[in-house]
Structure 1
Amino acid sequence: MKPPMIYLASKSPRRRELLTQAGISYELLLLRDKPPRGPDVTEIVEPGELPLHYVQRVTREKAEMAWKAMQWRKWDERPVLAADTTVVVDHHILGKPADRAEAEHMMRMLSGRSHQVLTSLALRTTNGVLAVTQSSEVTFAALSDADIAAYCASSEPYDKAGGYGIQGKAAQFIRHISGSYSGIMGLPIFETCQLLRDAGLQWE
């Protein structure tokens, strides 16, 4: 059996599914995100930071930290892939909602309009970092208060940027997308494969 080709520095089950779909073998290399020592990468937006710069910076920090973790743990050296997805409305970054009130507020912001989804990738190798960012546009239908209340009463909004996943219950609200479906899910397959090829990696 061939060893995994890369490490994936992400807890997202959707990213795992997409790598598997593309036939890319991987092993998880997870960063710490809880006390007592706190997260390895904080994902805090810096004052005045633009969404594009934010998602690129956080992704690169994840890749670099995972590379260091690989060395500290004395794991076999392989390329490390990191990703981050950000939902943007009027240049405002929507993270993961902390509670129901915040989730409902986000749904009202998305209702009846288009927004941007940025997914940044960073591949750390012995030669440095290769990076790319994919941008898509998503248009929501107008949502009633009942729609929002029912959706936010479920568990779905609370572990996703912008409070929704295109592959889940929120699909019923989406009128149109322009860009990459897999990118909106959290890992644009085309750009991911191109990044790996640029690093000289091949797979069956």
Structure 2
Amino acid sequence: MSLKLLENKKIILASKSPRRQQFFKDLGIDFTVKTKEVEEIYPEELEGEEITNYLAELKALAFDEELQDDEILVTSDTIVWLKGKALGKPKDKKDAFMMLQKLSGRKHKVITSVCLKSKNKVLTFSETTVVHFEKLSSEEIDFYLDTYKPYDKAGSYGIQDWIGLIGVKKIKGSYFNVVGLPVHRVYRELLNF
């Protein structure tokens, strides 16, 4: 079993996301969760995966000087990229409503970057998935926001929720990347790190 390659490593997942934590459980990887508050501000000239790379690395930087020889830290960041603009997590319901109206009937990119960091090595990579949305009515958006409260999600939606069932016409790329982590890539990169 290839996971034997990881048995002498301690994996630290720096994420409060229950979805990311579940992915690691589903992979059968032993890990601990450690998080630090990081102000997610990036230089405004950055675009697309430059933003998520920067933020994933910024989150990893918070653990500098702490990592032990046998530890691998995993940090990540996800944005929704629409017409040259990043949509992060919404501030409130009004903001979420506006984001979903913008996504309605259009295609957008979901970009996730992951940073793997040990005491003497860093690797950052990103995955992009293109998502095509159906036209959403105001009633559908309201129902979704009131019922699922996706305020902790980039772009104000979770593809695994009701909105994914009724609103996502097609995707090109990794489904799990849209949920919040390109799991296939994380697995491979961890084995080779």
Structure 2: which 5+ runs fail to align?
Answer: 1-6
C-alpha spacing 1:181/1:140, structure 2 compared with 1 (3 Å): same
- Measure, in 2, the Cα distance between the counterparts of 1:82 and 1:67: 13
User: 2:4 corresponds to which residue?
Assistant: none
Cα deviation for residue 21 of structure 1 reads: 1.1
Identity %: 34
Task: Give how far 1:9 is off.
Answer: 0.5
Match of 1:18 among 2, 16, 23: 23
Q: Report how far residue 76 of structure 1 moved.
A: 7.8
Correspondence 1:82 to 2:75: yes
AA matched with 2:139: A
Please give the alpha-carbon distance, in whole angstroms, between the structure 2 residues aligned to 1:4 and 1:168: 34
Query: 1:168 — aligned with what?
Result: 161
Distance verdict in 2 for CA 1:76–1:54, change over 3 Å: same
Matches within 5 A, 1:113-124: 113-124=106-117
Matched with 1:142 is 135
Deviations 1:39-89 (A, max 9, x none): xx2112422221221110110111121344x35xxx785110111111110
SS in 2 for 1:93: strand
Determine the C-alpha separation between the residues in 2 that align with 1:139 and 1:167: 15
Supply the AA of the counterpart residue of 2:39. Answer: T
Match of 1:53 in 2: 50
Question: Which of 98, 119, 125 matches 1:132?
Answer: 125
Distance in 1, matches of 2:126 and 2:40, equals: 17
2:94 to 101, 114, 126: 101
Q: Which runs of 4+ in 1 moved over 4 A?
A: none
Please give the TM-score of this superposition, normalised by the length of structure 2. 0.90
* Letter in structure 1 aligned against 2:143: A
Distance 2:61 2:53 in 1: 12
1:92 to 80, 85, 88: 85
Cα deviation for residue 100 of structure 1 reads 1.1
1:80-111 C-alpha deviation (Å, 9 max, x unpaired): 01111111101100011111111110011100
Give the aligned length.
Answer: 186
Question: Which residue is 1:197 aligned to?
Answer: 191
1:153 counterpart SS class: helix
Hey, what's the Cα distance between the residues in 1 that align with 2:102 and 2:93? Answer: 14
* 1:106-128 C-alpha deviation (Å, 9 max, x unpaired): 01110011100001011001232
Give how far 1:178 is off. Answer: 0.8
Let me know the Cα RMSD of the aligned residues: 1.8
Match in the other structure for 1:202: none
Q: Distance in 2 between matches of 1:67 and 1:28?
A: 16
**Superposed CA offset, 1:132-173 (max 9, x none):** 100101111000111112112234221100001111122121
| TM-score (structure 1 length as normaliser) | 0.85
